[in-house]
Amino acid sequence: MSIENQTYIRIQNKRVRPWQNEEEVRLAWIGALEAATDLHFDAERAKKDSSINNVIIEFKAPGYFNKSKSSAKFIEATQKRLLPYILRESIKEHIQPEDFIGIAIDGDHICFVQVIDEQIQSQHLLEFSPYSVGLVIEAITSNIRKAVSASNLMRDFGHGAQNARLLMQALSDALSEEIGNKENSKVKMLFEEWRTLYGQVADMSILQSEVIANEMCFCWNGFPQYSLPGRLFVIHTYNSLLIKLLAAEIVSAHGLAAIKQPSQAMSAILSDEILLTDLTKNQTSRTFFKNIT
């Protein structure tokens, strides 16, 4: 079992009792995080040692945020607690406020914040889940905030990265299943159009095909004759999706998008069906953008 799941279960066991107040939320989270990271937290201030990482956590009572960032309690936790604390620690530690990570937790939801130009900038409210718990663990065990650079993108999303391999394998399995289906579908139509446009992939020699196939980090489980074009189609699909998501994030960062922090907005969606709908209607369509003609 992963560290994220172990930590989630440990907190969840306290949560379902159910917990009653802020102190119970704080103790449950700190105990679980210390067990997961082998790091020491100051329980009174709920803050990890800044010499390890500049992460400040503000705990509140269960349901304190009322599932809304516009609630008075959420504003109190971020504007009146995290913001002044980060600014004070910035002066004390001689570190830029932007280099701190703030986390607000009310037991039911988690929200990451950052101070930019001495103003608090909050991201999305994330439901309590193994995924959101994992983000907290990652924040407190990472020494630096990752930069959006070519090397980091290649390490996290390059074809050899675990996440990329898993996603491309899932895409490959879904495509081979669609091709094997006797009924017509939009996926089959798009694949055939792609094969027509890039038909030269079918004309490669056996040696060329083997060389390319050996470089691919996922398998093809469908009809053998579609092995190479099918996997190239999957890679093309993966690259296109990644580029669109990166573009959406950049546009959002410049205030030209209808959705703030789109990547995290999607990560907060726990339903596969809703996520697919969001991808189709928002992230990859013109409705995502604003102020663009």
The average pLDDT across 36-47 equals 65
Structure pTM?
0.57
Query: In angstroms, rounded to a whole number, what is the distance separating the alpha carbons of residues 112 and 125?
Result: 8
- In sequence order, the 6+-apart residues with CB closer than 8 A to the CB of 289 are 251, 256, 257, 258
Q: Which of 117-126, 171-180, 239-248 has the lowest mean pLDDT?
A: 239-248
- Residues 211-221 pLDDT 10s: 777 778 899 99
**Is the pLDDT confidence value at 284 over 70?**
no
- Three-class SS of residue 121? strand
Residue 225 has pLDDT above 80, yes or no: yes
The closest of 128, 112, 117, 125 to 54, measured between CA atoms, is: 112
Distance, in Å, from the CA atom of 14 to the CA atom of 229, rounded to the nearest integer, reads 51
The pLDDT confidence band at residue 290, using thresholds 50, 70 and 90, is very low
Contact, 53 vs 138, CB < 8 A? no
For the stretch 176-209, what's the b/e string if a residue is b when 16 or more beta carbons lie within 10 angstroms of its beta carbon? bebbeeeeeeeeeeebeebbeeeeebeeeeeeeb
Place of tokens 């701190």: 100
Q: In this model, does residue 115 exceed pLDDT 60?
A: yes
pLDDT in tens, 46-59: 443 333 457 889 99
pLDDT classification of 253: cutoffs 50, 70, 90? low
- For the chain, which residues make up each domain, given as ranges? 3-145, 152-288
Higher-pLDDT residue of 141, 207: 141
- φ, ψ of residue 290 to 5 degrees: the values are -135, 160
Which of 27-36, 56-65, 83-92, 262-271 is least confident? 262-271
Backbone angles phi, psi at 52, to 5 degrees: -95, -45
